[in-house]
Structure 1
Amino acid sequence: MNSIIDLYKSMFNEDVTTINQDCGGNFITIRELLSLSSMSTSRLIGGSSGLDNKCTSIVVWETPDGLDWLIGGEFILTAGYAFKDSPDIKDKLIDKIHERGCSGIAIKEGRFLDEIPVAMRERADQLGIPLVILPKSKVYTELVSGFYEAIFYKSNAYLLETKKTHEKLLDLVLDKKDANGVLEALGHLGNLSIVLAGPDQLIHNSFLHHTINHQLVRETDLETAFHEDNFYRIKIPVEFDDNQMGAIHAFSLSPFNNLIRHMLNHGAKIIGMNMKKVDLDIFNEIRIKKMITSLIIQDKDLTDDFMKNVTANIKWDNKRLSYGIGLKFYTDKSQMPGAEIIQRDLNTLLKIYDKNMTFLIGESNDIFLIFINNISQSRLYELIDLLRFKFSIQNSILSLSVSLSNPFQNLADLTKVQDECVVTALINKPGETLTYESIGTLRLINPLKNDPTVITQYNEIMLKLEDYDLQNEGVLLDTLFQYFNHNMSKKETSEELHIHVETLRYRLNKIQALTGCSTSSSEGLFTLQLMMKLKNIL
């Protein structure tokens, strides 16, 4: 626990003065100044567009050269004594204090200036310099003390708010809130709608303070849901140990002050810590799902009681339609993410799509398998689109084929469902979605792989060709594949293989001699074609 607290303290080890300055504790605006009781008898006569100018100090000015000493941010109090011997000063007064960066000016009425010139008011309006009239009897000390009291209370109010915010964020660390819990707390603290997007540009978690009429699935959906004409928006990266883990997007109906920005930055760090921990939990969850899948597929002697317990524990509904999905990635193996990483991403994506989804995960050679319970065909294809989007964004070099089983219901049918996915994947192509139902004769041949007589014949024929090719650096199997692939046209096959037609005839005769299957009779060709199809399955 101490290590968590220490990490939190390092995150929030910021100079209090910096926070105070960022959050506005060292100034008040002209608008706030005029609302003070000490300014209740004053009148604003010009420069109203500058009411949000920041006042960092208040000064009394009564000498002609006094303006040259100003450094910016001052609110000027004057009785106009400087105008007495230098009347031309008032013509350039507003330009001068604007040039010096002053926030505004208040002039006592009827002391040394009987009337405020129209030109001065107009210039104040043009430059956004608030021009205020004070009663002749107003005491400066009352104004000055009121100003600095306001600065003091505003400073302490921001520090108190900062402290309370940090205490609530520390509670999130100590309570070990997940990403949803952190987003909800941040949303309540700042009256924000806030979402977490992953590096795959999908929305992983969200808390919506505002009502929107749009489904949030991809990061691009945020543009439509939170239109810039209606919402202020900020994006904060989520990182841990210099690893980019996504970003939080916050939306508000009012501008973000620096306290809210600090809060969101620290919230992003908490989410980064949590996401690292969640990764470890996901890997454990995947191992359990793979173990259940492996047991069901490999062990033929599982009892009915065992299957009932598994079905109940993972909340699989045997009355609902389910589908198997086989995913195959096509890329340079050196660029291929590890199997655990892909399975983690699949697990995360399925939960983003439907947090209540029931599914198992498996693997067969280089095909990643997902078995999804209770999903309609339309939602299945919607999910496939999301899968393609995720992996194209996450790694643009990946090309993906998707192979679908026939619909099934019972968890005990996973062996058959896996076979359907694997067989379909064998003839699928990069970028394609193919169903088991659509693969034709290969679907009819699939059951033959379990027939002992067929397997014996397969070994007698195919192993002879494989041995010959291995010992003679031959190409008989490839020749046979191309021959069938070109509808047994000798001309097209020889062109594909870049050999003479007589060379092709020699190879076909060699195949006949080794296997005993005639390459000129329908029965021999059928047997060879059947063995080649089985080769793809076995």
Structure 2
Amino acid sequence: MRLREALDLPSLAGTRVVAGMVGLDRDVRGIHAIDIPEPSLYVTAGQVLLTTGYAWPRDERLQLRQVESLVDRGLVGLGLAVPHFFDHFSDGTRTVAERLGLALLEIPWEVPFAEIVEDVHRAILAEQYRVIERSERIHRELTSAASEGATLEELAGILGRLINRNVSFEDREGRTLASYRARDVVDDAMGRDGGHRCPIQLGGHTVGTVRITDIVEPLTELEYRAAEHAALVAALKIAHQRELSVLESRLGHAFVASLLEGTFDPTPQAIERARLIGFDPQGRYVVALFVLEESLPIDRDAFLRRERLVHNVRQRMEDLRLPRLVSVSHNHVAVVTREGGIADIWHKREHLDVAVIVGRAHDGFAGIRESYREALQLVPYRRRGVVGYFDELIFPRVIMGDTEAREPFLRALFAPLESDKHGETIKMTLLTYVSAGFQVRETAKRLAIHPNTVRYRLDRASQLMEQSFDDPDTRFRLQFALHLLGAVHNEDGTIL
């Protein structure tokens, strides 16, 4: 218990603190009445000494030397019964005690020391019993949480509620992994370098920190021990997560690699294992390649950079509750995720030195192989720090003479027309319109139909393709497509 709390006991109700107020927040481990010369020989750290003044030096220089000697022994407080042998502590004694942080107490003479000693020792024993009970509760609840697979966020909440402090779990770089706020305080050390830090040790290495940020009131010994126990539980949790991560990574890597290589055998057992790691056989997925700008074969530094990238991507996918379907090959990290998932995984500020290229979304096992093939086609067109999507890069690839991009470009451009039962007629009219310089009357003349019919077909094509034929970019793409198709007009105006 703290000396400040001891002064609230009935036997010390009339006691006056005349110096060393700072010492009131120190812990009291015992209290003794000693009235013999050189009492410093018989006290230990954390004790309070009571004296009637009978053996206290009369010479002020000896008094000061006595105070300094007691402070050197770790005395918390010095109580003098007044008035009898002394009316009060001398001014010099008070000055030295104030400087050294020793609490000086003036106790009414009529209060028996035996009563004070009994009260304080009873309170200390009660406090120790309370601390033991609380310590057992902290140990029990943290250990139980660990055995039940609690997350770090839940562990932070349990610890914070048990000690009524603001708590955070941080990784080795100081980033917050989980936190709990028990109360709002002005001097909270969250976000700064303050607070008490207890290292999380794993295999002789520091992997993180348990940090108590609410330090307005000094931490008790119990709270220090609670932080240490929480660090131990967190270490066990992290070790377990790493073990699961390694197993999941091995299984996930082999599974994803087999999908990308087209060697996956969809047996019932294999499909069941795929479901266990979060893959939906009926789902719609894209394949993204995170490409490190490293020469092959990669050296040790490049290998470490790749491993950090894999760790960051997997951690981000875990935070988003996405299946961590990741495979690694040379300077490529392949990620299989749901349609639209890359936008959530990608963080430009974290991947400035990485190019990301994404295939189109496809269904099922075979679709992943196709998306991967599309992503590989984009490798020569990658840009560091930028996400490149297959559909967005088709036209630039065609312009640059990529023959593999021609068919996907034409298919993507005209595929919407196929949904209409007159799609072929609409397509022929549109291509004729393009070859006629986007002139309706010239188109009608070449097709030998009424201009209104041409306008109707063009309006229908515009609706299906969701494109405006007045847009210069759209016109350029259509003219380029006409060139690729090798469209020519025969004598009666039809397209070959």
Cα pair 2:77 2:104 within 8 Å, conserved: yes
Cα pair 2:50 2:78 within 8 Å, conserved: yes
Cα pair 1:30 1:51 within 8 Å, conserved: yes
Change (3 A) 1:80 1:251: closer
Which position in structure 1 is the counterpart of 2:404?
446
Cα pair 1:327 1:403 within 8 Å, conserved: yes
Cα pair 2:360 2:374 within 8 Å, conserved: no
Change (3 A) 1:148 1:372: same
Q: Secondary structure, in 3 states, of the residue corresponding to 1:252?
A: coil
Deviation at 1:339, TM superposition (A): 12
Deviation at 1:282, TM superposition (A): 3.1
Deviation at 1:37, TM superposition (A): 1.8
Q: Give the residue type in structure 2 aligned to 1:440.
A: R
**Post-superposition CA distance 1:22-53 (Å, at most 9, x none):** xxxxxx43213212222123222333232124
Q: Give the residue type in structure 1 aligned to 2:48.
A: F
Which position in structure 2 is the counterpart of 1:46?
19
Change (3 A) 1:53 1:421: same
Which position in structure 1 is the counterpart of 2:197?
234
Change (3 A) 1:380 1:126: closer
Change (3 A) 1:59 1:46: same
Paired residue for 2:332, among 358, 364, 367? 367
Q: Give the residue type in structure 1 aligned to 2:373.
A: D
Which position in structure 1 is the counterpart of 2:63?
93
**Post-superposition CA distance 1:278-299 (Å, at most 9, x none):** 3343345443575367448738
Counterpart-to-counterpart distance in 2, 1:318 and 1:424: 24
Deviation at 1:190, TM superposition (A): 3.0
Which position in structure 2 is the counterpart of 1:324?
288
Q: Secondary structure, in 3 states, of the residue corresponding to 2:378?
A: helix
**Post-superposition CA distance 1:145-192 (Å, at most 9, x none):** 222223322333222322222222332343343444434433333334
Normalising by structure 2, report the TM-score.
0.62
Counterpart-to-counterpart distance in 2, 1:366 and 1:186: 42
Change (3 A) 1:134 1:288: closer
Change (3 A) 1:337 1:245: farther
Change (3 A) 1:362 1:140: closer
Normalising by structure 1, report the TM-score.
0.58
Which position in structure 2 is the counterpart of 1:11?
none
Paired residue for 1:355, among 320, 323, 328? 320
Q: Give the residue type in structure 2 aligned to 1:265.
A: E
Paired residue for 2:86, among 110, 113, 123? 113
- Tell me whether 1:276 sits opposite 2:233 in the alignment: no
Q: Secondary structure, in 3 states, of the residue corresponding to 2:244?
A: helix
Matches within 5 A, 1:138-157: 138-157=111-130
Deviation at 1:418, TM superposition (A): 1.6
Deviation at 1:447, TM superposition (A): 4.9
Counterpart-to-counterpart distance in 1, 2:8 and 2:401: 82
Q: Give the residue type in structure 2 aligned to 1:349.
A: Q
Q: Give the residue type in structure 2 aligned to 1:348.
A: R
Long gaps (5+) in structure 1: 1-27, 213-223, 389-399, 451-538
Which position in structure 1 is the counterpart of 2:355?
402
Counterpart-to-counterpart distance in 1, 2:63 and 2:98: 13
Counterpart-to-counterpart distance in 2, 1:264 and 1:284: 30
Matches within 5 A, 1:485-496: none
Which position in structure 2 is the counterpart of 1:251?
213
Q: Secondary structure, in 3 states, of the residue corresponding to 2:130?
A: helix
Q: Give the residue type in structure 2 aligned to 1:100.
A: L
Long gaps (5+) in structure 2: 409-496
Deviation at 1:275, TM superposition (A): 3.0
Q: Secondary structure, in 3 states, of the residue corresponding to 2:333?
A: strand
Matches within 5 A, 1:345-494: 345=311, 348-352=314-318, 354-357=319-322, 360-362=325-327, 367-375=332-340, 379=344, 381-382=346-347, 384-387=348-351, 401-405=354-358, 408=361, 413-426=367-380, 428=382, 433=386, 435=388, 437-438=392-393, 440-441=397-398, 444-447=402-405
Paired residue for 1:188, among 161, 170, 195? 161
Counterpart-to-counterpart distance in 2, 1:200 and 1:228: 13
Counterpart-to-counterpart distance in 1, 2:88 and 2:189: 54
Cα pair 1:192 1:251 within 8 Å, conserved: yes
Cα pair 1:192 1:252 within 8 Å, conserved: yes
Q: Give the residue type in structure 1 aligned to 2:16.
A: R
- Tell me whether 1:35 sits opposite 2:29 in the alignment: no
- Tell me whether 1:170 sits opposite 2:140 in the alignment: no
Change (3 A) 1:316 1:249: farther
Deviation at 1:402, TM superposition (A): 1.9
Q: Give the residue type in structure 1 aligned to 2:85.
A: F
Counterpart-to-counterpart distance in 1, 2:328 and 2:36: 87
RMSD over aligned CA atoms reads 4.6
Counterpart-to-counterpart distance in 2, 1:166 and 1:141: 37
Paired residue for 2:180, among 208, 212, 216? 208
Deviation at 1:251, TM superposition (A): 2.8
Cα pair 1:43 1:134 within 8 Å, conserved: yes
- Tell me whether 1:75 sits opposite 2:48 in the alignment: yes
Counterpart-to-counterpart distance in 1, 2:280 and 2:166: 32
Cα pair 2:328 2:334 within 8 Å, conserved: yes
Counterpart-to-counterpart distance in 2, 1:92 and 1:316: 89
Relative contact order, CA 8 A, sep 6+: which one is greater?
1
Cα pair 1:283 1:344 within 8 Å, conserved: no
Deviation at 1:406, TM superposition (A): 5.6
Change (3 A) 1:285 1:433: same
Counterpart-to-counterpart distance in 2, 1:427 and 1:258: 61
Taking only the aligned residue pairs, the percentage that are identical comes to: 14
Q: Secondary structure, in 3 states, of the residue corresponding to 1:35?
A: coil
Deviation at 1:345, TM superposition (A): 2.2
Matched residues, number:
388
Cα pair 1:315 1:358 within 8 Å, conserved: no
Q: Give the residue type in structure 2 aligned to 1:351.
A: M
Q: Secondary structure, in 3 states, of the residue corresponding to 2:49?
A: strand
